[in-house]
Structure 1
Amino acid sequence: MQMAHRILNMFNPTVVPLSSGTNIDRPMNALTMTRPACWLISHFKIAFEHIGPHTYKIDLVRPDYPPDLQRAELPVTRTLDLAPDHNIDPPSADLLKIHSAIAKILYLSDASRFIDRFFGAMGEMEARLFKPDVTSRIDEYVASNLAGCFEEMSTEEESRI
Structure 2
Amino acid sequence: MANPSHRHQSSLEGLIDFSAQPLFATVDERTRAIDKFHRIVRHYEAKEPTHGRNNQYNRPALVRLTFEYARSPESQDKFLQAFFNSMALGMEDDGPDLGDDEVAADFHSLLYGFADYLLDHFFLPCLHVHLMLKPSPIYHAAIQRVQGQEEHIQSFMGTLDRVSELRSTCLVRDRHRCVITRQFDSQEATERWRQSGSDAKDDDGNMLVNDIQPAHLEVAHILPHSLTKMGNNSQLYDDSRKAALSILNMFDNGVIHLIEGTDIDRPRNAITLSHDMHQHFGGFRVFFEPVPDGPPHTYRIGTFLPLFIVGNQVPVTRSFFNHPTIDPPSPRLLAVHSAIAHILHLSAAGDYIETILKDMEEKMVREDGSTQLGRLVTLGLLMSG
Per the normalisation by structure 1, the TM-score is: 0.70
Aligned equivalents of 1:91, 1:36: Cα separation in 2: 19
1:17 is displaced (CA, Å) by 1.5
Q: Please name the residue that 2:121 is paired with.
A: none
Q: Please name the residue that 1:28 is paired with.
A: 268
Structure 1 letter corresponding to 2:315:
P
Q: Please name the residue that 2:302 is paired with.
A: 59
Aligned residues: 130
For residues 4 and 81 of structure 1, do their structure 2 counterparts lie closer, same or farther at Cα, with a shift above 3 Å needed?
Answer: same
1:132 is displaced (CA, Å) by 5.1
Q: Please name the residue that 1:107 is paired with.
A: 345
Q: Please name the residue that 1:144 is paired with.
A: none
Aligned equivalents of 1:21, 1:122: Cα separation in 2: 29
Q: Classify the secondary structure of the residue corresponding to 1:13.
A: coil
1:35 is displaced (CA, Å) by 0.5
The superposition leaves residues 42-64 of structure 1 with CA deviations (integer Å, 9 ceiling, x where unpaired) of 0011100012421110011x2xx
1:16 aligned onto 2:256: yes
For residues 130 and 21 of structure 1, do their structure 2 counterparts lie closer, same or farther at Cα, with a shift above 3 Å needed?
Answer: farther
Structure 1 letter corresponding to 2:277:
A
Q: Please name the residue that 2:102 is paired with.
A: none
Q: Classify the secondary structure of the residue corresponding to 1:48.
A: strand
1:120 is displaced (CA, Å) by 1.6
Q: Which has the higher strand share?
A: 1
Q: Classify the secondary structure of the residue corresponding to 1:104.
A: helix
Aligned equivalents of 1:123, 1:33: Cα separation in 2: 26
1:7 aligned onto 2:247: yes
Q: Paired residue for 1:91, among 329, 344, 361?
A: 329
Q: Classify the secondary structure of the residue corresponding to 1:101.
A: helix
Q: Paired residue for 1:123, among 342, 361, 371?
A: 361
Q: Classify the secondary structure of the residue corresponding to 1:32.
A: strand
Structure with bigger gyration radius: 2
Point out where structure 1 has 5 or more consecutive residues left out of the alignment.
134-161
Structure 1 letter corresponding to 2:335:
K
Bigger mean CA deviation after superposition, 49-58 or 121-130: 121-130
Q: Classify the secondary structure of the residue corresponding to 1:87.
A: coil
After TM superposition, the runs of 4+ consecutive aligned structure 1 residues lying more than 4 A away are: 129-133
Q: Paired residue for 1:76, among 316, 325, 328?
A: 316
Identical columns (%): 40
The superposition leaves residues 106-158 of structure 1 with CA deviations (integer Å, 9 ceiling, x where unpaired) of 1111111111112223434566478959xxxxxxxxxxxxxxxxxxxxxxxxx
Aligned equivalents of 1:123, 1:74: Cα separation in 2: 30
Point out where structure 2 has 5 or more consecutive residues left out of the alignment.
1-240, 377-385
